[in-house]
Amino acid sequence: MAQILDPLPPDYQNGIVCCYVNATSKIQVVRISNIPNWHFERVVFPGQRLVFESMPQGLLEVHTGMMASAILSDKIPCITLRIDMELNSTEDEDPEMVETNTDKELVELQR
């Protein structure tokens, strides 16, 4: 579930939904600081998936934690982390369940 605690400022209309996965074994801090009047920062644990909203021009900075410090390990354009939130209802359904439901309907019609 997405927890958007810092929504985009109201004057930004073209937000995108993004997903970042910490594929390392270390704790990371990610932040977006290049969008005026908005700052986004989260801790991402190893293996955790972070879903967030940003502007297409946002730049996600990934800081990987060490013992008493964090090193800037990557800068990722948010547009490359974009996920498509529009789902077709037929894509959502399990094909086996669709066939099973159709078979049940045919059985009921035959009775």
For 13-27, what is each residue's pLDDT tens digit?
788 999 999 999 999
Q: Which of 9-18, 36-45, 98-107 has the highest mean pLDDT?
A: 36-45
pLDDT value at position 18?
A: 94
Give the C-alpha separation, 27 to 38, whole Å.
23
Which pTM value belongs to this model?
A: 0.67
- Residue 34, token pair as written in the block: 């290049």
pLDDT averaged over the chain? 78
Averaged pLDDT, 36-47: 91
Confidence at 107, pLDDT banded by 50, 70, 90: very low
Q: Tell me how far CA of residue 109 lies from CA of 28, 96, 97, 99, 105, in angstroms.
A: 57, 20, 18, 15, 6
DSSP string, the chain: ----SSPPPTT----EEEEEE--SSS-EEEEE--STT--EEEEE-TT-EEEEEE-TT-EEEEEEE-SS-EEEEEEEEGGGGB------HHHHS-HHHHHHHHHHHHHHHH-
